[in-house]
A and B are shown apart, each in its own frame.
Chain A
Amino acid sequence: MKITKLTIRGFRGFNEQQSIPLDSNVILVYGLNGSGKSSFTEALEWLFFGEISRQRLSRCRSEYQYEEYLKNLFYNDTGNPFVEIEGIINGKNIKIKKEINPDGEKLFIDDKESPDLNAINLNLESYFRPMLAQTEIKALVDSEQKDRWEQLSSILGQDELTNLRENLISLRNNKKKDENYKKQELKWQSILSDITELQSLSQLNRAIQDLDSINLLSGIKNITGSSTNNLQDILKEVRIRQKSLLNTEIGKRVTEISYLDAIELSKYLKELSDSFTKLEEHLIISTKEGHDHDYLDFLKNGLAFVKLPECPYCLEKTLNQKRLDDINEKLELGKESREAKNQFDQLKNSIKLWIQSFPESIKSYLPSQQELKIISQKFLDIEEAELAVKVQNIEKEIATTIASLNKELKSAIDEFHGYLEIRYFHKGTVDENIPKKLSDIIQKIISQQNDIITKWEDLKIEIAKSLSITGVVNQEEIKKWLALEKIASFFINAVEFIKCASLLKQIDVIQAKLEQYEKSEITRLLQEHATEIKAYYEKLNPGDKIQFSGIEVKGGVRRQAKLSAEAFGKVVNPVTFFSEAHTNSLALSIYFPQRVDRNNTWDVVILDDPVQSMDENHSQALIDILVGISTKKQVIVLTHSKSFFRRLCARFGHLKPKIFLFHNNDEKGPSICLDKGETLSYLSLIEENCKKGDLRSLETASQHLRKSIESVCLEFLLDKGTSFSKAQKLQNAGLQSSFAECEKLGLPASETGKLKSVLDTSHSDSHAWSIADTTVGTIQVGKKYVQDIYDAYLK
């Protein structure tokens, strides 16, 4: 396909409708940054490929919202924004238009609405994109290896494989996000961990990991010895077996619960009662009247000195025997009273502690609530709901009894402590009913406890009858059958999950194969392109000591494309080592073999700012390549570089390029002028300056005339096939050489003679030839001679 006209309205940088005639084999566009050049390329990209590279390769893709980035910000006309091209496909004229419609996009082929571009029979695969956008060139080298892989894959036409891979990944992720799937997956993981612990089920491990129902069924059949092929029936058998084992286990637990009976507790309480009697006895002794302990101490100490009946010094009788016996008796009684008091204190403290620990001790005489909970759950597991409820009831009764008695008991104990303090220490008046109150509560507890124990003993008999307890409990066996039940139930109930998990496994296998295939394809295609890529790189970097070596790709989940190069004999990484110009030329070298040489679909190549920061040598080499391409395809080049643009104009001059100047991009869009070419531009400038008529303007006009003569000679030489470098050399050698070469190539000497007639040729160096006379007459005559040559040979 060849493009002959592009019309844009309200798209990207274009606001007002603009038509750009592209009916030339070479289209050159010059414009400063932001003048609308990229919008020109993007219009074509969007029209044919439905997206723009800037958005496709952006690292912040989500910020490109439909309306915002395609529609011109200032466009407020009533009609829809659109891009339209006129072109030629297989010799037939065609018109394609795409509108940005509020409801989406509308496509028209030859003014008829069409759902897609299939009718034009054009390969619209992205690897045949005829345009090379700035973003594509910039992003190829300076990107992460995985992103580079994707770009390479796209360049080499493997988009559909990449697309398929992305779809597989997205399909898998969506399935995995499903809440139900996640829940079932957790169950599955828990079964896997059960199995790992049980050696006896290790043979099922593989089948469960693979979610392989068939192998699982045969595995379970081996273990159970079942003859049925139905998982549901096997599950029933598993449950029966499991119930029998659990009966044994629960039975064991129930009978193991043994408790002290009420008599035991009564003994305990009798001890308490005896303690109270002792306490009373000690109290009586310790509080006997007439025992002044201070006085008794005094006597005891005094007697240590005065124990003889006569004084050894005065021989007078100090104590008679009766008095001494009286004193000794008093001392003996005082000693007993003191000991009784100590024992009273000890006993009182131990009673306090004993009573404080009483509520806890009650609990230990009743069945453990925790144990009853386990038993009731086990009954539920084996579907013995009635027994489970009975056990639960007893457990609840214990909880309630303990809670209420603890409260009542605590308050009675507190009251009793107060009684002890006042009655025995402060010898105050107390309510003598308090010990009885405590005693009654303790009796009540004992009675209720006895009730519970009786109920539990009855229930134990009922449980024993119901379970018909037999055999010895084997924990490993119980775990095995419980796990078997879990596995069988899971495989019966999680059909959807198993289906989904199998699908995901299948997707994994396909993805692995796809990645392997992708890698082999990219490697093969890169090998095919390798020579051409290197050749392009060498053309763009003639004689350079920095040479591109190749691209190494790695496949699999982490896909990478690594570039390598050599600089002065050393291996270097182009990403970190190359200058921007080298990077740019490397990207172009990778693109050209596919997008240009192997692209039989498009008869056009569109390059948006291909030189970036290339120097004169690089850009000249690129122009030479473009000249080669222009012999086979229409070439459209857009650039912001003035020097590159001038070189392009000069080099392509003989091919009569259409030259456009984009400038002043404002809210109305770019202002686009068709440029007349260098010679004609000089002639216009001469005319303008002659009209002004002042001396200074005439001087300028005379200089422009001199330049127009040089330019017309250069264009003539190029038109006749002289290489650009040779034509430039001739120009540098002076006008004499250019005239001679022009004559050699067919420009009559009469024509060069006319040109010479307006020049001052008296100087031997033709560089110094200036316009002989800076009068309006001479300049106008000279202008006419140049115009005549242009019209006759170059128009």
Chain B
Amino acid sequence: MGKNKLSRFAEMESFQRVFQPEVDFNSPDNTLKGNWHTNVFKNNNPIVLEVGCGRGEYTVNLAQRYPNKNFIGIDIKGARMWRGAKTANEQNILNAAFLRTRMELVEKFFGSNEVSEIWITFPDPQPRESKENRRLISPMFINRYKNFLKAVPSFTLKQTTNNFSITHTKW
């Protein structure tokens, strides 16, 4: 792994609202689950996720625009996430947080009715049919999201193709 990545990972450890827990499929639910409002944001405002947040452009910008909502960027790519996390830390954006984990494990981090809205912007298309379950907009993932979304959750999706079918998502 490059020195640059390692230094970014290390720097992220010092950011207050960045979480990089070591979790796998056999791990119990994380202590964050059901506790984002009380332990992280210290308020009861709605939580919005940016799934596959990359550099966290939406997490940071929306958090700045909507101080009465909480935003959490989730991705496994820490070197990219560092950019948004660093901005949020430097600008002391208290309603933005970042969670570095695999999306397959997301249910270990959010309790029932804990999330109000999900944004998905330019997800990895995973074009091979054999990897269709890895697509963040596949029914498998949507069903996972349902476990922690409120009764009438909303999704916002941006990408470069108008075919949102699980079998034809592409760049």
B is bound to A: no
Taking Cβ atoms with an 8 Å cutoff, the residues of A that contact B are: none
